[in-house]
Amino acid sequence: MGEEQPGRKAPFRIDRRHPPGGEMSDVVLGLLRRFQLTELLRYHNSTIVLAIFSFVNGCLSIGVMAAAAVVTRAPFVFPSLGPTAFLHFYTPTAPAACPRNTLCGHLIGTVAGWSSLALFGLTAAPPALSAGVDWPRVGAAALSLGLTSGLMVLFRVPHPPAGATTLIVSLGLLPHLWQLAVLLLAVGLITAQALIINRLAGIDYPLWSPKAAVQH
């Protein structure tokens, strides 16, 4: 009793090595080593330290995008960017967090959302949040999420936040093509940030595809 069975994970942990902060503890440890903050190394596993890192990193990640949105008057910040940023630092070595899945997943969600919007004649309609939901909007939302889910599985690029992206588009929150280009640029920028920070921390964050699983 009390011992973990082989092949089973402890509650609230990814595996034996990672606490409730997921792989974020490895990111924090790597950054502390990189910047030679040796006195803090013993605390890298602390839930409080992980929460502080998550808070600061989240503020910086989305704060930079929000600032870009203010300066350019373009939608550099949108709801599904938040969970993408969280995945990049909570489980950076998970397939869903790799650049390929992130970029392709959001691309699929964007294309599926706008195609569904166009198919139901809603490209010029006001957003569902202000005009309400009618039957064409129901069709567009359902089709967009169905397409996004199916295509991510078909092309083997699952990225859960893309499910929110496609609804943002099909609900009319970002109906213009130039806005969708900005959306994808924002995804690229936050993925580049993940690459830089995770590599600085010594995490084997992939340049594109997830690392192949080691068979035992």
51 versus 156: the higher-pLDDT residue is 156
- Which is it for the CA torsion 51, 57, 61, 63, positive or negative? positive
- Cβ atoms of 14 and 187 within 8 Å: the answer is no
* Chain centroid, CA 67 distance in Å: 19
Q: What is the residue-averaged pLDDT of the chain? A: 89
- Distance separating alpha carbons of residues 82 and 190, to the nearest angstrom: 10
pLDDT at residue 135, rounded to an integer: 97
* CB-based contacts of 50, cutoff 8 Å, min separation 6: 19, 20, 21, 24, 25, 28
- Distance separating alpha carbons of residues 167 and 169, to the nearest angstrom: 5
pLDDT digits (tens, 9 = 90+) for 61-115: 999 999 999 999 999 999 999 999 999 999 999 999 999 999 999 999 999 999 9
pLDDT digits (tens, 9 = 90+) for 123-155: 999 999 999 999 999 999 999 999 999 999 999
- Distance separating alpha carbons of residues 10 and 26, to the nearest angstrom: 18
Name the pLDDT band for 40 (thresholds 50, 70, 90). Answer: confident
Name the nearest CA neighbour of 27 among 192, 165, 205. 205
**Residue 12 reports pLDDT greater than 80:** no
pLDDT at residue 10, rounded to an integer: 44
- Cβ atoms of 152 and 96 within 8 Å: the answer is no
- Cβ atoms of 177 and 1 within 8 Å: the answer is no
pLDDT digits (tens, 9 = 90+) for 172-199: 999 999 999 999 999 999 999 999 999 9
The fraction of the chain above a pLDDT of 70, given in percent, is 89
